[in-house]
Amino acid sequence: MTKSADIGEVVRFRPREEYLRRPMPSDRDERITALVEALSDGAAVEAATRSLTAVGETVLGPYVQRAAGLAVSQGTPRYLRAGLRAAALMATQDDPRDVVIVLALLWRSAELLQLSPDQEFATVARALGRYGEPLAAFAARPPAARSLQAMGYALGHDLRHRFAAELDEHIRCSCGRSRTP
């Protein structure tokens, strides 16, 4: 079971940290991954949600972005699944539009890992009960509405947009070959 105080402290936003710019994986990535992996059901998400209420702004959104990249660069679904759990937790705190945007990264990561995104999203959604509803709703979208381009990732110049636009290139460079299905 996740200790509520731990998750609140680990995901608390720290303005000068520049979390997205840290090398991947970082110590903080690993701490967040371990904590969200413990979110095995709706009760665990409920407890974590209560602890986040007092925290204010978190790094869950940036963590999900990093988890999507880590899943592919490390060639393991561990970070993908942790990212899905983190996105479900994020949905309890953040604007649903922000959650939908990062879910597109996780969807693409599952594709690049040659996994079934539908199955990955559904498995985590079922485990988390009502907290998994944002994942199920995203998976139910038409394919064009789940794409990175539909989320604006191919456009814009800020770090969040560049991250997704560079995801495939990062994968090619770190793996020595393209993993695009």
Q: Tens of pLDDT along 93-148?
A: 988 888 999 999 999 999 999 999 999 999 999 999 999 999 999 999 999 999 98
Please check whether residue 26 lies inside any domain of the structure: yes
State the pLDDT at residue 167. 58
Please check whether residue 180 lies inside any domain of the structure: no
State the pLDDT at residue 65. 92
C-alpha to C-alpha distance for 106 and 81, rounded to whole angstroms: 9
163: pLDDT strictly greater than 60 = no
Please check whether residue 90 lies inside any domain of the structure: yes
- Give me the chain's average pLDDT, please: 83
Please check whether residue 135 lies inside any domain of the structure: yes
As for how many domains the chain has, the answer is: 1
State the pLDDT at residue 130. 96
Considering only CA atoms, give the Rg of the chain: 15
Provide the whole-model pTM: 0.81
Q: Which residue has the higher pLDDT, 176 or 124?
A: 124
Provide the residue range defining the domain that includes 113: 4-175
Assign residue 80 a region (left: φ > 0; alpha: ψ between -120 and 50; beta: otherwise): alpha
Q: What percent of the chain has pLDDT over 70?
A: 81
Distances (CA, A) of 104 to 71, 117, 124: 14, 10, 15
pLDDT band at 39 (very low <50, low <70, confident <90, very high): very high
C-alpha to C-alpha distance for 53 and 39, rounded to whole angstroms: 17
Task: Please state which of the ranges 21-30, 115-124, 170-179 shows the lowest mean pLDDT.
Answer: 170-179
Q: Which residue has the higher pLDDT, 66 or 179?
A: 66
Neighbours of 105 (CB within 10 A): 27
Q: Which residue has the higher pLDDT, 156 or 67?
A: 67
